[in-house]
Structure formats: structure tokens, C-alpha cells
Chains A and B, each alone.
Chain A
Amino acid sequence: MSELKAPSLQSLLESERGSTDSLLAESLQLDFEDLDDAEFAIPPTDVLPTLEAVLSEFEADSDVASEFGMPVPHATPTPSIGEDSTIRTDGRGGGGSIMRYTLLHGISAQLSSAAERVNAGAASSCAVAAFIAIGTSHGHILNFDVTQTLRWAHQDKHGQGAVASLAFNADSTRLLAGFSRGLVAMLDTHTGDVLRELFDVITPNTGVLHVKWTSRSSLALCADAGGSVWSLSFTRKLGIRGCQSRCLFSGARGEVCAVEPLIMDSQGRHELDQYCIVALATLSKYFIVTVRPRLRVIKYHVLQGPPDCLPLLAWHLVLIQAADTSRSVDPVIVVGRGNQLFFHQLFVSNGRITLLYLRHVQLQGSLLSAHWLGPKCVASLDTAEILHLVDVRSSKELECMDMANAGLVYGSAQFKGLATGGNVSPAFALAGSNACYNSVVSRGTQLYVLGARSLHIIGVRTWSERISFLVKHHRWQEACQLALDGYIASVDRPRKRAQAKERIIMLFKEYIANSARAPDYCLGAIVNCLITVGELDLLWTQLWEKLHNSSTELFLQHISEHIEKETIHSVNPVISQALVDYWLEHSPAKLEQLILKLDWMCLDLNQVLKAVKKHRLYRAQIYLNTQALNDYTAALTELLPLVTPEETDLGNCLLVYVSSCLAGRGYPSGEIPVELVHQVKHDVLRCLTSQHSKENAGDELPYPYLRALLKFDTRETLNVISLAFQEREFGNELGISHRKRIINLLLEIMSPENATWAEIGCLLNFIAQQISMQCLPRDRQLLERVLSHLAQEEIANESSRQHSERENAWHELLSSNCLAEISSDEEQLRLAEKAKCYCVVEYLLEKLERYDTILDCYIRNEARHETMFAYMERHVASPKRSIYRQLKRHIRELLAINAKETTRLLALHYPEKIHELLDGLRREENLLFLFLKCLNDRKSELEATQMELLLELYCKMESASTVEEFLRSNSGYRLEKAIAVAESHHLKRSVIYLYEKQESYAKAFELSMELLKSAAGEEAAKEAQTISALLARSVETLPAQELERCWFGLLQYILPHQELQSITKSLLHEASQHIDLHNLVQLIMNTHNVSTSFGDIKDLLMGMLDSSRHKTEALRASAGALCQDLHLEFVKRYQHAHRGLWVTTTKCSVCRQRLYDHSQVLIFGGCGHGIHEQCMEESETQFEECPRCFTAIPDQSIGLPRPNKNLISISSSLEMGALQLKAPPRRFI
């Protein structure tokens, strides 16, 4: 059964990632669950074969069909299907393996002969149950049984036209036929006898569109071309067959196009069985109604679509998995129109029949028909006559097939009412052009498509059938993939899984049977299948034996892939031999990979061990030695002698191996079995430290294994030992003696004759580390030796790293207090200083509390300069550290290292000492400058003398512009002094700036003039502009005469200079604002080369005259305008003052209090309403209209004076700009 997911949103979303698997899973389910019989109402088949069974035998016919010129749609890609690129490219098609096409030859032949011999006409409708009934356009009905044998033929004698619709009842004993001129006939399916002929059961003068049996055995429905639906209740009173016809829906209220009763064969197991339910669809809506027990509409929905498209309805029972994991089998209706499909579930909830929307599928073409094919797929035929198979859960199209050549029969004649004179509505006739309700019918998983003279069956193959189909066409790759998908999809259903596995094994047998012919390319897929289902024996025996020489390599490659992916861990010994041979030949490295991943049990040890030794596959060798032979030392004894410093790979591999063994871990992964761990550790250690190798060559140095490792990489070997020392075995008394022994061995091996100094250094560092970590007892002799190494004054080629390691080791030793016994701190201090181990020195000084030289250590150790300042910062407060004293002593170094930090420290903690320090630095100008600069940058207030000193240094060290910048941004200096300093360094610009700052503009000007005179060309022009700007700035301070003198001086210099003419004009213009024009003109005239620039002078004069005239004009005009304004204002006020006012209210419009209560009153003009002035002020809003009558307020409200006795007085409100009202308000008081 199915699993159409429930109406939850989640399930809808999930459906998006549906795949082809869904069909597979469905096929699987169909295949394995025995629901089909119940679901599809297939009658018991003890005697007769089922229709499906019989029809599926016809598959072989398809080849014959192609000979007859029929297309074979499943032979993909057919050209017609190929055209539909969107379908083909999404890759989801079943590759033609899902839909099975069959042409029913027997029936088709009968149809042809009926048409030709008895003039039966073309087929017009069909019905399928236990029989296949086909009606023709001339009123013939042919009834076939499942073997395609014609059982009987019936001819209508009443001239009722074509057979429009046929329907079998539930047990296939009665056939109901509707004719296009309105006759409804009931026939016995076995004999072909007419049982009832009903002429007047539908709207007169209309044809029958549908006849349908309902779920009640004596109740049928009939729809006519007038759009009405009639219920036909068959009666048999006193042996006389009768029929009661009743109109259910009249076409006048919406023409019904489609009728689909719900028929469930659940034998009363479903709650809905008590109802007789019918789905109806008009061109605008669809309804679900109950006909029995009483007629009632359950639900209706609007159904939009193109006008030439008919609504489509189809029911099916579907297993629904609700969001709360409850399952139910409920009827689901699919409603289609245009390119839309809607799915609704019908169920009983709280005693009410409920219709629940499930999902919506959008298709590409317009629909002709939509039918369920099984509970998971919907087959939809579009107007291009392409059949699409749509998976409901994923809404994806699975496959499509072109049906254009089937010669599909359309029922448009009935819809257009051609037999009854075309008395149908235009909308109905238009929609009916695509009607094929009665020529495409479905039953179970098969779709019957009626052609004019043929009948076609489209079936859906089950998963198993699809595999068979693919196998038959030698599409092994796809078959395997499909089989695997099915197997994987059945992951949580054990029964199905077993069946899927059986099918895969069957597939494999088919493959074996075919493998003589079958190509190699699908070998991988078959191997993959077998490995996935875990049938390895088949793989090793049947498949392997069947393979020829050429394919064995391929087979081995596939097997290797699986080993690498770790899907299999063990292979058959025969295969493993072949595998080893194959990879030995092709890639020994790959062989090593494989061996490491394989269980050793399946390997031929003799063969493999020989091979790995020969090809030097160390890892594999170690792995096999340890796993298979349980020999953990063999690898060492065999491989260690081979180690040389060049063999990094081997060396590293052995180091890791030794380390793993000593830590109790397996190699290359996993753990050593618990019962072996102890033994292994012991053995490996003993082997490593054994004095001589097995085949002692005599001249061998002692401890060859350990020596080899040390020789290879001292450091890493020591790391291995260091790691090993942390193991439990080295923890107890015995372990400590082991440690001691190993250290002694190491020292013995690493004698100066046999090792470089760097290596020995490494060892001694290591020992120091071990001692300080208390992994070794403090052996005096050892310690002395270590110390002597650590305290070496100089080691040749020592890198800074090595030095720091040495230092570290020493430091660790000291801090773990290990050296106290062999050497005094004082002595070590001396040694450390010599060895330049400043960390150690510092540590010792700390310890001895000789803080006064600690800073030296920091200063000498470049890497720790950064931490030095932090150190000072931290201890600045503790007097015994004498930070300041050290600071003072090292001030020079500190400034050089980081002047900023040093200054910060000093300024923060020793501001009072700065003087002293500065004095000390008086001679070193560089440092002094640095110091002062940093101090100044810190925004600390420098004293004037310091500032001047800094200025002096700036002058000496930096460029003129920097000096000027400094002067501009600082102000702490005294001007006179600064001027003196700047002058002494001939920094004229700075001096000018300082003069200006001092407001001695005259001096500044003089100096600037000097600069101007010394400059030439562009420079001079720039200078001149600078001077003019200077003079402009000086306006406020310089007396007018002085200013004029300066300007004259400037102009006198500039005017005669030809090259400065470009700026003459602007300068003159500038000057004209400051000096008397008269004098200016005179000056110009007196300039001796005036003639040459007469034009300029003329321009200047004209300009001056012009501007004078403009100014006069402007003055006059503005005076006039002012006069006018005043006049207007006066007129306005005058008007206001002369107007009478009519105060009409006694209460303020805002506060509703009496208006004349001794306060100032405002009246809003014409309306005569007033408010208190205070209210006006208090209220936030700006009154634009009278708050009472909304009359617009004129520009000026008029204030009334505070009332007094005579009401005529002058208040002080004149000052407020409000005119006084002199006349008393009339009518008041």
C-alpha cells in the first residue's frame, strides 16, 4: 500500500527531495504487500488468470507491434520523447523502464473487423473490469474477456447513435451503456442480454455523457449533455425490472462535466462505506456530495482553468501517514484542470465527512485526463497526447510516453450534442473538444487507452519487473543501480529487505548466466551490489570463477576500491593471493595500503611477507608481524639495521611504531590486546636496549638498535623515550631503575666520538628536562655533566633556538631545585652570565634577591624587551627592586630600545626625576631629543626651558618644515627665546611665524620682504601672496598708517617687477581695501614703468570707479526701500487703530472664564471673540483661526487693555507691538 504523506507542511516540504526512489519504494511495496487484491478489487483467481497477469504476458507482443508500424514507446529514447527536452534532461526519468506499453492485438483486430464488416463504426468508449467492453460510434457494444476473446456483441436497434459511455458494476455482472441520443441500457455481461432499456431517464432530447455505478449495487448515476445528473435506482418489483430516475443536479444551475463515484472495496472496514459518495465537477467548481443516505454537499471548491479544458476527477485509496505517525487508508481524490492537479483526502472526523487539502502539483501541458496508477502515481495525458507519469509524493515526473500514434478517441461529439442537434451550451461545447472521459480508463496500475480501432495498455512496472526489464535489455548498470536503490530504500523493513536481497541475488545469477556475453563495464556495479547486500561468498566463488583472464584485473581493482573504502575487510584467500600478485606487479605502494586495511587472516602470509620484504613495505611488514605473528620485535630487529638518516620514511615509521608499542597502542591504529600489552612493552624495550643484534657481526658497536634510531634522529628518539617515560611501567621502583638504565645507555651511546655536539646537547637537554620533571633521580654525577653542558660559554654553530632550549632546560632544573646540591647559586650565576643565559641569570637574581641588576638581563635578551617594560611597571612600587636606579643607569639603552615606553614609564612614575635624567643626557643630543620628543608627545606639560631645548634640538635634527610644524602644534615655549633659537638656526619662516604669533607684524613683514626679495619667479609670487595674507591678518592689530606703509612697501617692490605681473592685479585689489585709494593711484602713477602696464592701471581705476558707483546706487535704492516699508507698516497700523471692535462674548474662548477679569484681552478681529492674553501664551498652539468660530485671524490680533473703570486708558502693551484699542467695546458693561 502506499505512504502518501499526510497533510503536514513538513511532509510537503520533504516531498521536495523526493527522488526516483519513491517510485521504487512504491514498486517494492506493491510487490511485496498483499494489498493489491483488496485494493484493486481483483476477483479471486482460482480458476481464471487475472487480467493483469494475462496482459503482462503480452509484453512480448511489442516487438510484433513495431512491425505493424506502431511505435514501441518504451524503447528509449524514442524520437518523440526525446523532443521533450525538459523531461529528458532532469535525469529523473526511469529510462523507459517504468511504463510498460502493450497493444491488445486481439481486441484491436476485432474492432477493425467490426468496423469493416458490420459497419460498427470507430470505437467511442470503453469500460474495463473483469471484462473489457467497447462501444462504437454506430451503437455496437463488444464485450471481451481477459483472453481478448469476443464474448458477445450487441447492436442497438433504436438508432440511439454512438455508445457514449459504458460502466461495469462492482461484480462485473451488469454493464450499463449510455447512448448519445439519450438511451441508457443495462446488459448482462455474460450473455449480452438487454435487461433494461431506459429511454426517458434523463433530460429529454439530450445525449448521455457518463454512466457510472455507485457504491450501492442498485444505484447508478447518469450525466447528460444538458449538464444534469440523474440518479438511476434499479428496482425489481414482482420480477419486473424497473428504474426510478431522479434529477440530482440540474444543468440549469451549473453544468456537470465529470462524475466520479467513490467506490471502495474495503468490505465495510472503512467508516465511509455507509455513505454513497460522488465527486462532481462543473466548469467552475467541484463538489463532493453524498447521495445516500441523503443528498448533501460535503464540500465544494472553485476550480479555475482554461475554458477549453475539462475538469478531471479520480479517486484512489491511499495509505496516509499523518504528522503524528498515525496511519490511515483513506480515499484521495485528484482533481485536475488545465495544468493543475489538486489532491484531497476524504475522511470521517468526529462523525463528519471532511475533505482535507493535501497537495498541489503543477504540470507542464494542459490535461486531457488524469488517472491513478496505483496509490503513488498519477498518469496524466496532456493535450499533446504525451502521457506523463507523476510521482505524487515528490511531485516529480518519472517518465513520459508519446501516445500520439495510439489514435486516441475523443468524446467531443457527445459533449457538443451532435446526435441531438447541438442543443448544448457554447461553454460546454468548447470544453468538450478535449473530452476523453470514456476512452482513457484506469484499473489498478494499468491505464487503458482506446484508439479508434485499437486498445492500448500502459502499465507500471514494479521494482522487480523493472530490474528484469533492464536485465533483458542488458542495461546492467542501471539494473544494479535500481536494485541497490531498492535495497537501500527498504532499510527499516526487514521483510522487504530480505526480498530485495533475494532479488539482487537473482539479478546476480542472471548476470552470471549472461556473463559470457555481458560486457565488463558493469562488473563494478555487480560487485558493489553483492558487497552491499553482504553476499561475499557469491563474489568469491561464482563470480570469480566465471571471470576470464581479462576481467580478473578489473575485478581486483573493484575489490581494492572497496577495501580502501573499508566496505570489506576480508577477502577470500584465493582472491587475496591474486590481489597481492596483481598489485605487486602494478603498484606496491597501493598494496601496502590494502594490506593495512585488510584482515590478516585472509592473506597468504608466506606470499605477503616475502612480497613486503622484497618491496620494503615497512608499514605492511610491521602490521603483519604484529597482527599475524604477534611478534613485536621482529620488525625492529629486521628493519632497524636498515635505517640511515636518508631513509626518513622508514625511520619515522619505526619511531612511530616504537612509540605506539611503548604506549600500548597498535600499529598503525587500534590498540594492542590487553593481555599482550605488558609483554609487548617489555619486549620492545628489551629489544631496543639489547646490547647486540642477533647476527652479531663482531665489529658492531654495542646497542645497535637504539644507536640506529639515535643516529637517525636524536631528537625524535628522545621524544619517543620521553613519551614512554610517562607510561605506567616506568612509574614504579623498577621503572625508575629502567629509566636510569636507559639514560645511562644513551649517555654511553652518545659519546663524543660517536655523536655531534648538537646531538649530545639534545640528550643533555633531555636529561635536564627529565630531571626537572622528576622523571629521573637526581644523580649528582649526571647533574654535573648536564650542568657543564648547559653552562658552556660558547657552542659552535649553536642556533638561537638551541640556545634557548639550553637555557630553558637550565631554568627548569633550577626552578625544580635540582642543582642545589652540586652548585651554589652564586656560582651558577657566574656561569649563566658567561653562557649568556639571561633567563637563568634573572631567575637566580630573583632568587638571591639581588634585584639591582635584573634589568641588565632583560636588556641583553632581545626577545624579552617587550616583557621588560611590563616587569618594570609591575615592580615600580617596590623600593627594594630599585627600579629607578636601574632605569637611570640604563636610560640610554632603554631609550634606544623603546623610547616611547621608557618615557611613559618615567612620566607616569617618576615625573619628578625627569629633570635629573634630562640633565644626565645633556651631552647626548640624539637621546635627549628622543626623550624630549616622547615626553612632549605624551602631552605632559614640559617646562618652557625644556620646550626651548626641544626646539633647539628640533632645529638641529629636523628639517625646517618639521620645525615649523612643531612650532605650530605646540605652545609651551617662550616666544622671545624661541625667536632667538630659530634665528640662530636661520629658520626664517619659523621666525616669521613666531613674530606673527607675537603680533610683531612689522617685523614679520620685514623678514617676509627679505624672503620675497631673495626669491624669484613662481616662488616670489607665492611669497608675495603669503605677505598679502599676513597683512590681511594684521589689519586688526597694526595701526592704519603702519599697515599702509607695509602695503606700500610691498607694492613698491612688486609693481616694477615684470615677472610678478600675474598677481599685481589681485594684490592691488586687496590693497585697495586697506589703503587710501588716492595714495594708491599716486603710487601706481609714480611707479616708473607704469606706461608698460597702463592698461592694468586703467582697468584698476575703472574698476574702482565702477565699484564706487555701484555702492552709491545700492545705498540709494536700499534707503528708498526702507522708506517704503516703513510707510506701509505705518498705514497698516493706522488702519488697525482706526477700526472699531465688537466684542461679542463675555467669556474667553479658551479657558471659559470671564473675559473682563482684570487681565489683558485679545480679540481675534472680525468675529469679535476674544481670549485672555495669558491663555494665548499658555496654550502651545499657534492660533491661526478663532478657536470658537474658526474665522481666519488677520495678521495682527488686537489686544484689549485690561479693563478699568473708564475703559479708556493706555496700557503698556504698545511695547509689545499690539496696537491699543482706544474705543471701548460697545454693548458690553
Chain B
Amino acid sequence: MATTPRSGGASGTGTAQRPNGTSQNKSCQFKLVLLGESAVGKSSLVLRFVKGQFHEYQESTIGAAFLTQTICIEDTVVKFEIWDTAGQERYHSLAPMYYRGAQAAIVVYDIQNQDSFQRAKTWVKELHKQASPNIVIALAGNKADLSNIRVVEFDEAKQYAEENGLLFMETSAKTGMNVNDIFLAIAKKLPKNDGANNQGTSIRPTGTETNRPTNNCCK
């Protein structure tokens, strides 16, 4: 539980500290996109990561949803801008809009569903072909809490991931297993030279700096 990051201030710790407060902290911002067949648990994964919540019956996503989450690794504050895409067929052709500018992608499949794994493979292929060449791709076998009725073997997916240079973890949005770890692993793999990645922030109007408590640097 202690590793679960909480949404920015929502769970309200009074002793929140701003990660940017200390000067030696670098900060960078990454665009991350979630891809995968419908009902594999993309939204659940994000919700678990961003808010630490889990709904047994998550409604299917309509259109891509946008969420942000900030984590700390070592002395760097990494802000993820997460685009949680819809898995339904009619939204597939929209995916390029999100992944073409993304620095990282998580391709999710359901370990109980062979088709979703095949679909994940086609996503990976598409990403290799169309996305920016140095995109960090992670493969997530979700619903690992149901591993006793699994269809996709761990080793099979592991081997596939190794062959294609992907990060790989089996996750469970329900139990929270590996959810933060996979985002952390991505953050570690992403290059962290601020200049290039902070383009997004630099163009913002330099209004009053927020007092947003981003207290979730629990790592």
C-alpha cells in the first residue's frame, strides 16, 4: 500500500512536499500511451497507478482519456502525461494520433485471452513501424491475479518481449502487482535530459506557479 502513489493531493496529506521545492531535482515530462484490445484493463491499470483505485466493473473507455501522474526516481521528478486510449475497434484508427508523439507506450494484453496477446503483437509491430524510433515500449500482461486460469504463458510473452526489445511485466490492476513497477521501469529507461522533454512545459504561460501539492513521490 505504501508504494501506491496517490493522486495529486486528492487523498490529502497535510504534510505534502513539493518535489520541485529542492533545487537539485530535475524534472521531466513524458507522454505515454496505453494500447491494447478492449477489456484487457488499460483504464484499470492507469486508475490504479494514478489514483490507487480499482473498480471491478470498469466502464469501457469512450475516446481517449487523459491523466497525469508524477513519480520520483532518484533525484528526478518524472511527470507522465498518460493517454489511455479506447480499445474498441472503431477507435483503432485514432491511435496514431496519440502514439506518434509519445515517448513511451504500454501495450496491454489479458493473460487469459490469447487474441488480446496477438493483438498486442500487432500493436508492437505498428509502433515499431510508425511511432518515433526511440519510443520505449512496455508489454504488460494484465489480470495476473487470475494466473491460475491463464492462457498466455509467462515464458512465451517474456521471450517475445526479449526478441523485440520490450520491457515486460505481468501486472494486476486488481491487486496492484507490478503496476507502479512497470511505470517506474519505463521512467528509468526514458532519457532524462530536461531540455528536450520540457518543451511542453516551456511553452506554458508563465502565470502563477501552482501550489499543487504533488505528494506522491513515495519512492
Given A656-B94, A815-B8, A816-B210: A867 touches B52 (CB 8 Å cut-off): yes
**A726 and B200 form a contact (CB under 8 A):** yes
* A175 and B52 alpha carbons, distance in the complex (Å): 98
Q: How far is the CB of A53 from chain B (nearest CB, A)?
A: 53
**B210 and A726 form a contact (CB under 8 A):** no
Given A656-B93, A854-B12: A777 touches B63 (CB 8 Å cut-off): no
Q: How far is the CB of B138 from chain A (nearest CB, A)?
A: 22
> Number of contacting residues on B, CB 8 A?
46
**B91 and A726 form a contact (CB under 8 A):** no
In chain A between 786 and 827, which residues have their CB closer than 8 angstroms to a CB of chain B? 799-801, 805, 808, 811, 815-817
**B199 and A728 form a contact (CB under 8 A):** yes
**A871 and B130 form a contact (CB under 8 A):** no
**B59 and A716 form a contact (CB under 8 A):** no
Given A655-B94, A656-B94, A839-B10: A719 touches B203 (CB 8 Å cut-off): no
Asked if B207 is at the interface of the complex by the 8 Å CB criterion, the answer is yes
Given A656-B94, A719-B63, A866-B53: A871 touches B199 (CB 8 Å cut-off): no
**A726 and B203 form a contact (CB under 8 A):** yes
Q: How far is the CB of A84 from chain B (nearest CB, A)?
A: 40
**B63 and A669 form a contact (CB under 8 A):** no
Asked if A625 is at the interface of the complex by the 8 Å CB criterion, the answer is no
B7 proximity list for chain A (CB < 8 A): 811
Asked if B165 is at the interface of the complex by the 8 Å CB criterion, the answer is no
* A649 and B89 alpha carbons, distance in the complex (Å): 11
* A405 and B147 alpha carbons, distance in the complex (Å): 68
Find A843's partner among B12, B54, B97 (CB 8 Å cutoff): B12
**A663 and B94 form a contact (CB under 8 A):** no
Asked if B202 is at the interface of the complex by the 8 Å CB criterion, the answer is yes
**A652 and B11 form a contact (CB under 8 A):** no
In chain A between 622 and 661, which residues have their CB closer than 8 angstroms to a CB of chain B? 648-649, 652-653, 655-656, 659-660
**B11 and A716 form a contact (CB under 8 A):** no
In chain B between 55 and 85, which residues have their CB closer than 8 angstroms to a CB of chain A? 55, 59, 61-67, 83
* A720 and B66 alpha carbons, distance in the complex (Å): 12
Q: How far is the CB of A26 from chain B (nearest CB, A)?
A: 34
At the interface, is chain A mostly helix, strand, loop or mixed?
Answer: helix
Q: How far is the CB of B105 from chain A (nearest CB, A)?
A: 15
Q: Which residue of A lies closest to B96 (CB)?
A: A656
A723 proximity list for chain B (CB < 8 A): 97-98, 101
Kindly supply a per-residue 1/0 record for chain A positions 837-853, scoring 1 wherever the CB is within 8 Å of any chain B CB and 0 otherwise: 00100110110010000
**A774 and B6 form a contact (CB under 8 A):** no
Find B6's partner among A660, A730, A736, A867 (CB 8 Å cutoff): A867
Asked if B14 is at the interface of the complex by the 8 Å CB criterion, the answer is yes
In chain B between 34 and 68, which residues have their CB closer than 8 angstroms to a CB of chain A? 52-55, 59, 61-67
Kindly supply a per-residue 1/0 record for chain A positions 166-193, scoring 1 wherever the CB is within 8 Å of any chain B CB and 0 otherwise: 0000000000000000000000000000
**A842 and B97 form a contact (CB under 8 A):** no
A866 proximity list for chain B (CB < 8 A): 52-54
**B62 and A843 form a contact (CB under 8 A):** no
The CB with the most chain A CB atoms within 10 A, among B52, B53, B97, B202, is that of B97
Given A801-B59, A866-B54: A716 touches B130 (CB 8 Å cut-off): no
**B94 and A716 form a contact (CB under 8 A):** yes
Q: Which residue of A lies closest to B213 (CB)?
A: A815
> Number of contacting residues on A, CB 8 A?
57
* A883 and B204 alpha carbons, distance in the complex (Å): 41
Asked if A1088 is at the interface of the complex by the 8 Å CB criterion, the answer is no
Q: How far is the CB of A651 from chain B (nearest CB, A)?
A: 9
**A731 and B90 form a contact (CB under 8 A):** no
Q: How far is the CB of B96 from chain A (nearest CB, A)?
A: 5
Given A815-B213, A842-B12, A867-B6: A719 touches B96 (CB 8 Å cut-off): no
B148 proximity list for chain A (CB < 8 A): none
Given A719-B97, A723-B101: A874 touches B13 (CB 8 Å cut-off): yes
Kindly supply a per-residue 1/0 record for chain B positions 1-36, scoring 1 wherever the CB is within 8 Å of any chain A CB and 0 otherwise: 100101111111110000000000000000000000
Given A731-B202, A774-B210, A801-B59: A660 touches B100 (CB 8 Å cut-off): yes
**A817 and B100 form a contact (CB under 8 A):** no
**A656 and B59 form a contact (CB under 8 A):** no
* A44 and B118 alpha carbons, distance in the complex (Å): 67
* A928 and B10 alpha carbons, distance in the complex (Å): 33
**A775 and B11 form a contact (CB under 8 A):** no
Find A653's partner among B83, B93, B211 (CB 8 Å cutoff): B93
**B101 and A816 form a contact (CB under 8 A):** no
In chain A between 659 and 710, which residues have their CB closer than 8 angstroms to a CB of chain B? 659-660, 663, 665, 668-669
B11 proximity list for chain A (CB < 8 A): 842, 867, 870-871
Given A648-B90, A817-B211: A774 touches B205 (CB 8 Å cut-off): yes
**B63 and A842 form a contact (CB under 8 A):** no
Q: How far is the CB of A731 from chain B (nearest CB, A)?
A: 3
Given A843-B9, A867-B11: A652 touches B204 (CB 8 Å cut-off): no
B14 proximity list for chain A (CB < 8 A): 846, 849, 878
Q: How far is the CB of B39 from chain A (nearest CB, A)?
A: 15
In chain B between 189 and 219, which residues have their CB closer than 8 angstroms to a CB of chain A? 199-200, 202-205, 207-208, 210-213
**A731 and B54 form a contact (CB under 8 A):** no
Find B205's partner among A736, A769, A839 (CB 8 Å cutoff): A736
Q: Which residue of A lies closest to B62 (CB)?
A: A715
Q: What are 26 A-B pairs at a CB distance below 8 A?
A: A652-B94, A660-B97, A663-B100, A716-B94, A716-B97, A723-B98, A726-B200, A728-B203, A732-B203, A736-B205, A769-B66, A774-B205, A801-B62, A811-B7, A815-B210, A817-B208, A817-B210, A817-B212, A843-B10, A849-B14, A863-B53, A866-B53, A867-B6, A867-B52, A870-B4, A871-B12
Other CB < 8 Å A-B pairs besides A659-B97, A719-B66, 7 of them? A715-B64, A716-B63, A720-B97, A815-B212, A842-B11, A867-B6, A871-B12
